[in-house]
């Protein structure tokens, strides 16, 4: 099993450009999450999807949108990238929202210039 | 709200030394507690967890005990190896908060041969 996969691994954007980060899991998990990781700040939750068809804001949702395309896939979109969104982005999944053992993808390193 | 505080790194040790990483938390409700590990260039992996007071989580020689009276969940390993070099994150989740994880800032550990 691949677990949680993310594409791309690296991306450089100019301010104002848009892009979508892709995430897929093959563990038949119900819940999926997007985090950003910044130095010294741990991981902060951007958005999550407790189950297919639902999405909710996390701690830092501003500037992002998400789509739970189906049970496997959960994408994160930056409509107009800003330098403050330079970060490492992680997708994660868990069996259900009531089980907090989350499985993480390898991350996407995004730089906005 | 919920928060996790862990000691800042980096922590530099020699092989076979004893490792302790302190973690304390504040939570509204009864949290489950976790330690995640991030090896260089990878996503986070669950290392161990504890779901109620006085539980001890253990894995790969690491241990942590859920101490409700001191709101702590310190990570320990008796004899570290170079392969333990990584960033360690303490985290909690509370059912009332939808079981979303709240992370500490991470502690980088470097083990030298």
Closest residue on chain B to A10 (Cα): B41
Asked if A90 lies within 8 A of B43 by C-beta distance, the reply is yes
B47 contacts in chain A (CB < 8 Å)? none
The predicted structure's pLDDT at residue A100? 62
B83 at interface of A, judged by CB pairs closer than 8 A:
no
pLDDT greater at residue A39 or residue A58 = A58
Q: How many Cβ pairs within 8 Å bridge chains A and B?
A: 55
* pLDDT-based confidence at residue B8 (cuts at 50, 70, 90): confident
Would the pLDDT of A102 be above 60?
Answer: yes
Would the pLDDT of B61 be above 60?
Answer: yes
Asked if A44 lies within 8 A of B103 by C-beta distance, the reply is yes
Judged by CB atoms within 8 Å, which residues 49-108 of A form the interface with B? 50, 56, 58, 90, 92, 97-107
What stretches of B44-106 adopt beta strand conformation (E)?
A: 44-50, 56-59, 62-65, 75-77, 86-94, 101-103
Asked if A104 lies within 8 A of B34 by C-beta distance, the reply is no
Contact by Cβ (8 Å): B93, B100: yes
Chain-centre distance for alpha carbon A103: 12
Phi, psi dihedral angles at B47 (to 5 degrees): -95, -50
The predicted structure's pLDDT at residue B67? 97
A4 at interface of B, judged by CB pairs closer than 8 A:
yes
Asked if B44 lies within 8 A of A104 by C-beta distance, the reply is yes
The mean pLDDT value of chain A amounts to 92
Backbone region of residue A26 per phi and psi (left: phi > 0; alpha: psi in -120 to 50; beta: other values): alpha
The predicted structure's pLDDT at residue B42? 86
Judged by CB atoms within 8 Å, which residues 37-56 of B form the interface with A? 41-46, 49
**Cβ contacts of A42 within 8 Å, gap of 6 or more:** B4, B89, B91, B103, B104, B105, B106
The predicted structure's pLDDT at residue A101? 81
pLDDT greater at residue A33 or residue B41 = A33
Q: What is residue B83's DSSP assignment?
A: G
Contact by Cβ (8 Å): A29, A95: yes
Would the pLDDT of B99 be above 60?
Answer: yes
Would the pLDDT of A98 be above 60?
Answer: no
* pLDDT-based confidence at residue B96 (cuts at 50, 70, 90): low
Asked if B98 lies within 8 A of A50 by C-beta distance, the reply is yes
A58 contacts in chain B (CB < 8 Å)? 100
Asked if B99 lies within 8 A of A105 by C-beta distance, the reply is no
Q: B12-33: per-residue pLDDT in tens?
A: 999 999 999 999 999 988 899 9
């Amino acid at each position: 099993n691949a677990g949680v996969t993310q594409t791309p691994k690296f991306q450089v954007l100019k301010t104002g450009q848009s892009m979508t980060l892709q995430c897929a899991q093959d563990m038949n998990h119900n819940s999926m999450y997007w985090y950003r990781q910044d130095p010294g700040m741990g991981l902060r939750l951007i958005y999550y999807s407790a189950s297919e068809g639902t999405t909710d804001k996390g701690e830092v949702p501003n500037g992002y949108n998400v789509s739970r395309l189906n049970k496997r896939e959960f994408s994160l979109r930056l409509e107009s990238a800003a330098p403050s969104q330079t970060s490492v982005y992680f997708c994660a999944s868990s069996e259900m929202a009531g089980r907090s053992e989350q499985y993480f993808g390898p991350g996407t390193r995004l730089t906005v210039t | 709200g919920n928060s996790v505080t862990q000691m800042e790194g980096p922590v530099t040790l020699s092989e076979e030394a004893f490792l302790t990483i302190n973690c304390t938390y504040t939570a509204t409700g009864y949290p489950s507690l976790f330690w995640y590990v991030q090896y260089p260039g990878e996503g986070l992996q669950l290392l161990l967890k504890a779901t109620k007071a006085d539980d001890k989580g253990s894995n790969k020689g690491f241990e942590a005990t859920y101490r409700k009276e001191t709101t702590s969940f310190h990570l320990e390993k008796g004899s570290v190896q170079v392969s333990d070099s990584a960033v360690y994150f303490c985290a909690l989740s509370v059912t009332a908060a939808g079981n979303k994880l709240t992370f500490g800032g991470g502690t980088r550990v470097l083990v030298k041969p």
